[in-house]
Structure 1
C-alpha cells in the first residue's frame, strides 16, 4: 500500500468515524426531539381532555339547572292552577247558596261597604228575581247602624255574577263577587297556598 493509499484510507476511516458520530448525534437529537414532541403531544392531549371534561361538566350543570328551573315552573303553574280552581269553586259555592244564606251574606257586605248617604243597591237579573220578601226591612235595620246611610233596591239590573253594586250618583262601589275576589286575589292565593302546600 502506497503512502497515498494509506492517507486516503485514513481520511476515509476518519470520514466514516465522523459520519458515524454525526449520524449518532443526529439520531440522539432526533430521539430527544421525538421524545419532546411526544411529551408535548401528551401534554396537549391531557389539556384538551381536561378542557373537554370541564366543558361537559359545565354543559351538564347548565342542563341540570335548566331542568330544575323548568320543574319549578311546572310545579308553580300547577299550584297556581289548583289555587285558581279552589278560589273559583269558592265563588261558585256562594252563588249556589240557598236564598236565605246568600242574602245574609249580601246584607253583611252592605253593612261593611255602604256609605253614610242616599244611594241605590243594584243586583243582577237573577238576584233581583230571588230577593227575599223581608230584604228591604233587613237592609234598613243594618243601615240604621250607619248614620245617614240609606239604600233602596234599584229597579234596573246590572251585568254581574253575584254580589251587588252600590250607586251614589256618579260614584259606584263594585261589590260584585268577581270584583271582590279580584281585589282579594293575592291574599286569597296566599291563604290557599299556605293551607294546601305548607
Structure 2
C-alpha cells in the first residue's frame, strides 16, 4: 500500500468515524426530540382530558342548577294555582251561603266598614231578595255603638257578585266580595300558603 493509499484510507476511516458520530448524535438528538414531543403530547392530552372533565362537570352542574330552578318554578306555579283555586272557591261559597249565614256575614262587614254618618247600603239584585224584612232593625242594632252611623237599605241594586256598597252621598265604598277578596289577595294567599305548605 502506498503512502497515498494510506492517507486516503486514513481520511476515509476518519470520515466514517465522523459520519458515525454525526449519525449517532443525530439519532440521539432525534430520540430526545421524539421523547420530548411524546412527553409534551402526553402532557397536552392530560391537560385536554382534565379540561374536558372540568367542562363536563361545569355543564352538568349548570344543567342540575337549571333543572332545580325549573322544578322550583313548577312547584311555585302549582302552589299558586292551588292557592288561587282555594281563594276562588271560598269567594264562590259566600254566594251560596244560606240566607241566615249571608246576613250574619253582611252584618259583621257593616259593623267593620260603616262610617259614622248616614248612608245607604246597596245590594245586588239577587242578594236584595235574600234580605229579611226586618233587616233595617238589624242594621240599627249592629251600629248602635257607632255614634252617627245610620244605614238604610237602598231601593237601588248594584252589579256586584255579593256583599254590598255603602253609599254616603257622592262617596261610595265597595264592600263587594270581589273587591274585598282583591284588596286582601296577598294576605289571603299568605295565609292559605301557611296553612297548606308550611
Q: TM-score band (shorter)?
A: over 0.9
Partners of 1:158 and 1:2 in 2: CA distance: 141
- SS of the equivalent of 2:119 reads strand
Partners of 1:172 and 1:5 in 2: CA distance: 135
Aligned counterpart, 2:118: 118
CA deviation after TM superposition for structure 1 residue 133, in Å: 1.4
Partners of 1:56 and 1:163 in 2: CA distance: 61
CA RMSD of aligned residues (A): 1.0
Aligned counterpart, 2:151: 151
Asked if structure 2 preserves the Cα contact closer than 8 Å seen for 1:122 and 1:164, the reply is yes
- SS of the equivalent of 1:154 reads strand
Aligned counterpart, 1:78: 78
Q: How does 1:1-198 map to 2 (within 5 A)?
A: 1-198=1-198
Partners of 1:36 and 1:157 in 2: CA distance: 97
CA deviation after TM superposition for structure 1 residue 170, in Å: 2.3
Q: TM-score, normalised by structure 1?
A: 0.97
**Structure 2 unmatched runs, 5+:** none
Q: Provide runs of 4+ in structure 1 moved above 3 Å.
A: none
Partners of 1:179 and 1:56 in 2: CA distance: 54
- Cα distance per residue 1:131-185 (max 9 Å; x no partner): 1112111111112221101112112211111111111122221111111111111
Query: Number of matched residues?
Result: 198
Asked if structure 2 preserves the Cα contact closer than 8 Å seen for 1:124 and 1:162, the reply is yes
Partners of 2:112 and 2:186 in 1: CA distance: 21
